Structure 1
Amino acid sequence: MKQLQKYRIQIAPLSETGMYGCGVKLINDFTWIFSGLPSVNKTRKAHGVAVCLDKVAAKVWKDSGSEWEAVSERIVKIRLKCSCVNVTIISIYAPVNPTNNQMNDDSQKFYNDLQDVINRIPTEDMYIIMGDFNARIGGKEQRQQNLFNSVGPYTVDTTNENGGKLIDLCTINNIIVTNTFFKHKLVHQTSWMHPGSKQWHMLDYTLVNKKFRSSIEDCRMYRKAAGAIGTDHHLMRIKIKLHFKSRRKLVQKKGVYVSTNMKNVNALKQFQNDLIPTLSDATDKSISIDEKYDRFVEHMKTNAEKIFRIDKNKIRKRKEWLTDEILEIVEKKSTAFVNWQNHRGTKLETDYANKYKRLRKLAKIKIDKRQEEYWDETCEEIEASIKLNDPANAFNIIRRLTGKRKRVENMPIKDKHGKLILNATAQLGRWREFFDGELNVASSVDPQLIDQIKIKRIKKEGRRTSKCPTYNT
């Protein structure tokens, strides 16, 4: 998440996530729409794809009806309604270049599924396909044949079997490979190094339908992000000119409340006293419950800003156990990784590699130690709350740690006919229909018979406090 914020990426299609099942999750400030193998079919190769949205993109997606489709463990699709054009985004993870019949069948199935998805996209939509295609394209003849068509002039490889399938897909659907239309240094074009030959290749691509080619401003790789998260693929980022319909310009930074002020007993007492007048709205029947809630939230925010104050320098949320020292070591590790990549194949490669490995080991030691300290402190806090007869605080801490407060929205549900419902409004209608049928059961009992049933009075309660009241026979 930190790397997405650092490189200001609003929409991030992810490949080989290793996540099982499909659905929507809220992780920190990012919304994940993911698709993977069913959890009952856990294998060593989980594959898995996802589309990660920041707050702005997530709001646009929800305002657009929360449309998404989990096609397979290798393909997931979402749709955004923007001011000038609707955008369909497809995240993929293609099989590796086939070397036997089974792998060839898997590759063919993937491209067939992808073609079916493209066929169902509205013709007026701009669609972007991103991910690890495990394909190599290029070569002198290929560049001359496809120049200014599907493939641009800036390729780095020779086309392999998967590359041929990718080019065929682009040619049939009038799609371009955006990576090949922007001139960059070789290190900013390639995304993966072969562990045996030590050669760098371009395996990750961004595809766009040709009529929206002018909307793409740039496409290149970033190496430093790979060192920070420990992946063998470099980060690919594209810049698009489109503006989201629901995007709002923030006049000032929101920031977060000063944590030290929130631990001050006097400040907490003042905050609680200021909230007491809002309780009078609870008994006001002329106000709807939604309006009561909005008033309470607004009053609470106003008082919190006045009493606790806001630190505008702290905007990004981070894990509770994370310290500035650890972040500094991780940053050094990322820099060491880039230096190592720059000296691949030279005499100094071993020195830079060893430096990166030392920093990686140091970061792991520091993280493990800090996490252990954090859990000890948290357990002591829970134990202290229980000893002080404050179970509410103890369970609040437990819920915060287990993440049960994080909502999982837009889980796929089916209609009466077994068809998957992907639209949020239609899902709400289906839930209403379901509960209406479950709770309002048609009764065949004569109401007059119910009136004839006599209810016995409870004359005497049990003498013990733990004993339930019984009928006095």
Structure 2
Amino acid sequence: MTWRIALTNNRYATLISAYAPTLDADPECKELFNASLHTAMNKTAPTDKLILLCDFNARVGPDGVLWKDVLGQHGVGKLNAKGLRLLTFCSEYRLVIIQLKNKFKTSWQHPRSKHWHLLDYIIVCQADRKEERVTRAMRGADCWTDHRLIRAKLILELRPPLRKTPPCRWLNCDALKSTHSVNLLREQIALQLSKIPETPTDVNISATWSTLRTAIHQAVVESIGYTRRRHQDWFDNSAPDIHNLLQVKHKALAAHLSNLQSSSLKASYNDIRAETQRTLRAMENEWWVKKASEIQHHADTNNSYALYDAIKSIYGPQRKNIAPVRSADGTILYKDKQQILDRWAEHFNTLLKTSYPIRMDTLADLPCLPPVIDLDTPPPLRRGTESHRLPEKQQEPRP
């Protein structure tokens, strides 16, 4: 049985209830059950919260080391064939069996040996393992069955789905510095243009330009190709030396684990591990110092192209994501670049080209402007600022 429950933000949770045939059932019945279970799993949307409630009559055993991401450390009993199939099924679909506490982990008692076993499971995706809070067998539930009821409490974290944008690929224009690449590009352009008829059947200018653009782009891709990401790292540049150091350390660790009582092997392993760590730190510091000197040299010589190329080789180019916008009524979400541009144009046309009515009565109610000042008439002097002109000095006549 499959039940798809609607959650918030267009998210769903799918519950699958499965009851497997017993061990003495026909092989055809078992294969039919497995096929129907795989069909139900494949029909489940990858964005749904998946919860599998099952009675597989399987014993998964306590091997939590081999089935680390599936079983954990709380297995019980011995592994049987159906348990191995269940563990393989969970590993294939990246599921995890929710573990029970030691006191509440078993769900079925064998009628003859009176031993308790774990046959009923609650299985979720490995990515949702942290959402499980309490899982236990309800020992006090009386429901006329030899199985105990298994209950689990989950706190669902509804994360928005990730948007997968196609990567931006750039043409390798640096290859055109080679004469061989230029000649190859000319040959490819001539070959692609020869496939286009001289007298096109369609006189549409847009269709003709699209055909020409596709031919030229195909010629460039086949001749020079796209650029590859040249992300550099100190570990990759010194990989052979680092591999040798780690190999020596692994050998010392294997010798120490083979004889844990030997103090000399333990001391040798500790010395080799410390020396390896010091060597790796020195190699990393030396690589960063060389890169910093190279970038500083490009900056001092005003070589901006080499400067930014060296920075991008270390940190990598930045990806530009397109921010989606909604329509005017808010019902449609535009993700295409051209639709986003058209929506912004519509928004600014509505905002800037809207005509507002003018009410003359509102203008009449505005306060009057101050009186006009005549610039030819000097302003009156303020009190206390009167200027007194001194009498001119009389000059005596010359003899």
Which of the pair has the greater relative contact order for Cα pairs under 8 Å at 6+ separation? Answer: 1
Provide the TM-score with structure 2 as the length reference: 0.37
Q: 1 or 2, which has the higher strand percentage?
A: 1
Larger Rg: 2
